[in-house]
């Protein structure tokens, strides 16, 4: 009976570890809405968490690291900006023929 409980705990641990990883390039590109090339550049520049190697041809990212990266991203503000006097007085460009 304890053997059955142990295997259930192992299965639960395996399920937890699977949900904490984002698997492969397709998974991470879908998660952060960036291309593989852009992510590769950001990883090399230290702007995005590096993947972990799961196997010879498999990589994954820790979901917690990706979520922390997302949280660190600046928020876009949609507040109205005051026009500068030069921008308020601009006239459209004239086309000379």
pLDDT in tens, 3-19: 444 444 444 444 455 56
Its pTM stands at 0.60
DSSP code for 34: -
CB atoms within 10 A of CB 26: 10
**Distance in angstroms (rounded) separating the CA atoms of residues 87 and 38:** 34
pLDDT digits (tens, 9 = 90+) for 36-82: 999 999 999 999 999 999 999 999 999 999 999 999 999 888 887 65
């Amino acid at each position: 009976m304890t053997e059955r409980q142990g295997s259930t705990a192992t299965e639960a641990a395996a399920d937890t570890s699977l949900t904490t990883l984002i698997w492969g390039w397709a998974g991470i590109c879908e998660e952060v809405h960036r291309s593989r090339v852009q992510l590769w550049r950001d990883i090399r520049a230290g702007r995005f968490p590096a993947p972990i190697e799961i196997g010879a041809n498999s990589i994954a990212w820790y979901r917690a690291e990706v979520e922390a990266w997302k949280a660190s991203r600046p928020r876009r503000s949609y507040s109205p900006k005051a026009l500068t006097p030069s921008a308020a007085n601009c006239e459209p460009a004239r086309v000379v023929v």
